[in-house]
């Protein structure tokens, strides 16, 4: 048992770097689909494999933010000069600091952990019909161009004896979207987080977003939208459930 | 000093007057000297290094696959979003001014506009509606949109952008009047800060007869109302 735990700790540490954005790279654990927990974990109780991915270290603290602010601001001053602007003119005097603080806000998802947000709001409820929260406004940053992505998230899940406070779904979206993201990964992270927290019968997440990197530059297609979805559990296996979900979010 | 030129380019309008004679116009146009695009290439490494610093400062791992070329992409994207500094009105308009005996309102509306807030370096975008009353000279319609592009692809403040577009059209055409209305959403207000998602900022610049005659202004506003 000891050696197993040791191995797991090492595994977590080695993967800490690639897990900074929590991107899973096939490390996804979906407890509860197969009896006895996900493959590869030694523990039999579902709750401890849930704790595992929640154990991903918070990569940033408020102190980190304060300490890195000057270097980020200096980088922004370089950028302003590099664009040919005069950083000393009135409108740009405090821009490096404002832009640095703004960028830290746009990536504040790195400071937060799911477990802090969800810990209290899981309730035992005998509801076994679909629960949907739709039209959750989402703002993220494209990790390739550092330009905003914004859109709407629709989340549906089929509870299995446990329901979640509704705003917590929106908070999960916030945590994962306020990062440097790729829309596909964002969708999956939200779905997996809900799965691990509640072990529901199924989860469906649909994101419809506009990417400024496509609208403001590059191809410059104003009206294009990107839609991604992740269906887990019964949403993936049963087409009727999926249909019901997709119809309800459309109306 | 190139910084000073840039400051003039995007600087405060300095109260440039509406009724300028053509000689002065030519001189003013020439003063807006364009930067060579080769300068962009030479500045790229510094911008890349700056973006790498930013990514590290945010706590990200710059060696992960998704971020490997991000500093280069982000630097190029930023240069594209600030490409208005390269361009001058003189280049864009020079050929497309025609003598036409039209004395009624000409409007080009719903011009999509994307700009960068100079305070937070975050986008703001919306629509521009331009109207002018020609005085013997009309301009090619796409040139109005190109003027919008030149001034919006800079670090901007919406008020200044509106005025610059209006001033550029007045100086180029000497029309009887120019009206510019911009309605935009500011990501600095939507994504952060107050976080009011549906808020829009509307600014307008009315010059010449649009400022003096309320009827002309009404007509313009009525014709652009159905726009949004």
Q: What is the mean pLDDT of residues A163-191?
A: 94
pLDDT of residue A58: 60
Helix axes B37-57, A62-82, angle to 10 degrees: 180
User: In terms of domains, do B56 and B127 share one?
Assistant: no
Mean pLDDT of B30-37: 52
Pairing, β A180-181 against β A131-142:
parallel
- Could you tell me if residue B210 is inside a domain? yes
Confidence of residue A153 (pLDDT cuts 50, 70, 90): very high
The percentage of residues in chain B with a pLDDT greater than 90, rounded to a whole number, is 69
**This prediction's pTM:** 0.78
Residue B1 burial (10 A CB sphere; 0-12, 13-18, 19+): exposed
Residue B53 and residue B138 share a domain: no
DSSP for residue A146: -
The residue segments making up the domain with residue B121 are 95-224
Delimiting residues of CATH 3.30.1130.10 domain(s) in chain A: 114-249
Are A208 and A152 a contacting pair, CB within 8 Å?
yes
What DSSP character marks residue A228?
A: E
pLDDT at B88: 87
pLDDT band at B38 (very low <50, low <70, confident <90, very high): confident
The C-alpha atoms of residue B99 and residue B103 are separated, in whole angstroms, by 11
Structural domain A62-110, CATH architecture: Orthogonal Bundle (1.10)
Length of chain B: 228
Residue span(s) of chain A under CATH 1.10.286.10 come to: 62-110
Among A104, A183, A189, A199, which one carries the catalytic annotation? A183
Q: Any catalytic annotation for residue A143?
A: yes
Mean of the per-residue pLDDT values of chain A = 81
Q: Please indicate whether residue A23 is annotated as part of the active site.
A: no
CA distance B123 to A93: 19
Q: Is A213 on the interface with B (CB under 8 A)?
A: yes
The whole-number pLDDT of residue A13 equals 40
Q: Which of A20, A83, A89 sits opposite B7 (nearest CB)?
A: A89
> Which string of DSSP letters, residue by residue, matches chain B?
-HHHHHHHHSS--TT--S---HHHHHHHHHHSPPPPHHHHHHHHHHHHHHHHHHHHHTT--TTSGGGTTHHHHHHHHHHHHTGGGT--HHHHHTT-EEE----S-EEEEEEEEEEEETTT--EEEEEEEEEEE-SSEEE-HHHHHHHHHHHHSSEE-HHHHHHHHHHHHHHHH--SEEEEEEEEEEHHHHTSTT--TT--EEEEEEEEHHHH-HHHHHHHHHHHHTT-
Q: Are B87 and B10 in contact (CB under 8 A)?
A: no
Task: State the DSSP H helix or E strand holding residue A210, giving kind and residue range, or none if neither.
Answer: strand A202-211
**Res B223 pLDDT > 80:** yes
Q: Which residues, in sequence order, are bridge partners of residue A150?
A: A139, A210
Q: According to the model, what pLDDT value does residue A57 have?
A: 55
Report CB contact under 8 Å: A80, B157.
no
- Residue at B31 is within a domain: yes
Same domain assignment for residues B42 and B140: no
Predicted pLDDT of residue A26: 38
Between the CA of residue B201 and those of A99, B126, B153, B158, B186, what are the distances in Å? 20, 9, 18, 8, 8
Residues on chain A touching B50 (C-beta within 8 angstroms): 75-76, 78-79, 82
Which of the residue ranges A38-47, A209-218, B6-15, B27-36 would you say has the lowest mean pLDDT? A38-47
Do B70 and B151 belong together in one domain? no
Task: Provide, as residue numbers in chain A, all residues whose Cβ is less than 8 Å from the Cβ of B6.
Answer: 84-86
Q: Are B60 and A21 in contact (CB under 8 A)?
A: yes
Active-site residue flag, A8: no
Q: To 10 degrees, the CA torsion angle through B32, B38, B44, B47?
A: -10
**Which DSSP letter does residue A199 get?**
-
Would residue A183 show up in a list of annotated catalytic residues for this protein? yes
Separation CA A167–CA A204 (nearest Å): 17
Instruction: With a cut of 90, say whether residue A180 has pLDDT above it.
Output: yes
Phi-psi region of A148 (alpha: psi -120 to 50; beta: other; left: phi over 0): beta
Confidence at residue A16, expressed as pLDDT on a 0 to 100 scale = 40
Residue B167 in domain: yes
pLDDT at A9: 43
* Cβ atoms B203, B159 nearer than 8 A: yes
Residues B138 and B58 in one domain: no
The DSSP result for A43-71, as a single string, is --SHHHHHHHHHTSPP---HHHHHHHHHH
In a domain, B120, yes or no: yes
Helix, strand, or coil (residue A237): helix
List, for residues B66-114, the tens digit of each pLDDT value: 999 999 999 999 999 999 988 888 888 878 889 989 889 999 999 999 9
Residues B112 and B169 in one domain: yes
Q: pLDDT tens digit string along A12-24? A: 444 343 444 544 4
pLDDT digits (tens, 9 = 90+) for A100-121: 999 999 999 999 888 888 878 8
Overall domain count for chain B: 2
pLDDT single digits (tens) B47-68: 999 999 999 999 998 999 999 9
Q: Which residues pair with B98 in a beta bridge?
A: B138
Q: Which of B11, B48, B57 to mutate to test the interface with A (most CBs of A within 10 A)?
A: B57
pLDDT at B168: 95
Q: In this structure, are B149 and B175 located in the same domain?
A: yes
The answer to whether B85 and B9 are in contact (CB under 8 A) is: yes
Q: Which of A142, A154, A189, A199 is catalytic?
A: A142
Which CATH architecture describes the domain A114-249? 2-Layer Sandwich (3.30)
Cα(B8)–Cα(A124) distance, integer angstroms? 65
User: Residue B127: pLDDT band by 50, 70, 90 thresholds?
Assistant: very high
What's the average model confidence in pLDDT over A226-239? 96
Residue pairs between chains A and B whose CB atoms are closer than 8 Å: 169
| Shared-domain flag, residues B218 and B114 | yes
| CATH assignment of the domain containing B12 | 1.10.286.10
User: pLDDT tens, B11-27?
Assistant: 444 443 344 444 444 44
Residue B90 covered by a domain: no
Q: Tell me if residue A11 is catalytic.
A: no
Tell me whether residues B58 and A104 touch, CB distance under 8 A. yes
My answer on whether B71 and B155 are in the same domain is no
- Structure confidence at residue B5 as a pLDDT band (50, 70, 90): very low
């Amino acid at each position: 048992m000891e050696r197993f735990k040791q191995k797991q700790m090492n595994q977590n540490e080695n993967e800490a770097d690639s897990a900074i954005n929590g991107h899973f790279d096939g490390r996804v654990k979906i407890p509860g689909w197969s009896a006895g927990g996900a493959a590869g974990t030694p523990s039999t109780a579902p709750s401890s494999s849930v704790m595992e991915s929640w154990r991903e270290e918070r990569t940033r603290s408020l102190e980190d933010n304060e300490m890195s602010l000057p270097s980020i601001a200096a980088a922004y001053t370089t950028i302003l000069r590099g664009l040919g602007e005069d950083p000393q003119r009135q409108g740009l005097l405090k821009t490096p600091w404002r832009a640095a603080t703004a960028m830290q806000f746009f990536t504040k998802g790195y400071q937060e952990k799911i477990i802090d947000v969800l810990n209290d709001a899981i309730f035992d409820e005998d509801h076994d019909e679909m629960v949907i929260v739709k039209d959750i406004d989402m703002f993220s940053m494209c990790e390739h161009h550092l330009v905003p992505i914004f859109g709407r998230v629709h989340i549906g899940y089929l509870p299995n004896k446990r329901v979640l406070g509704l705003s917590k779904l929106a908070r999960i979206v916030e945590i994962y979207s306020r990062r440097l993201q790729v829309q596909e990964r964002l969708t999956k992270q939200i779905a997996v987080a809900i799965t691990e927290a509640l072990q529901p019968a199924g989860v469906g997440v649909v994101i419809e977003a506009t990417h400024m990197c496509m609208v403001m530059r590059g191809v410059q297609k104003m009206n294009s939208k990107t839609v991604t979805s992740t269906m887990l559990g019964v949403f993936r296996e049963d087409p009727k459930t999926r249909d019901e979900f997709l119809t309800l979010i459309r109306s | 000093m190139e910084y000073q030129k840039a400051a003039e380019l995007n600087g405060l309008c300095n109260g440039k007057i509406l009724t300028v004679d053509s000689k002065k116009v030519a001189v003013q146009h020439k003063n807006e000297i364009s930067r060579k695009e080769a300068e962009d290439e030479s500045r790229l490494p510094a911008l890349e290094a700056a973006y790498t610093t930013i990514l590290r400062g945010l706590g990200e791992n710059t060696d992960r696959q998704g971020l490997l070329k991000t500093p280069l992409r982000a630097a190029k994207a930023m240069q594209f979003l600030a490409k208005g500094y390269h361009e001058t009105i003189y280049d864009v308009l020079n050929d497309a001014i025609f003598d036409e005996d039209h004395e009624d309102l000409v409007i080009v509306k719903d011009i999509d506009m994307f700009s960068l807030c100079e305070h937070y370096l975050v986008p703001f975008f919306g629509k521009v509606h331009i109207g002018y009353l020609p005085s013997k000279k009309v301009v090619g319609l796409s040139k109005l949109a190109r003027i919008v592009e030149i001034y919006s692809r800079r670090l901007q403040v919406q008020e200044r952008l509106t005025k610059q577009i209006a001033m550029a059209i007045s100086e180029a055409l000497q029309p009887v009047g120019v009206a510019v209305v911009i309605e935009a959403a500011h990501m600095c207000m939507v994504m952060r800060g107050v976080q009011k998602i549906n808020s829009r900022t509307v600014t307008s610049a009315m010059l010449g007869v649009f400022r003096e005659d309320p009827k002309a202004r009404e007509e313009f506003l009525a014709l652009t109302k159905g726009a949004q």
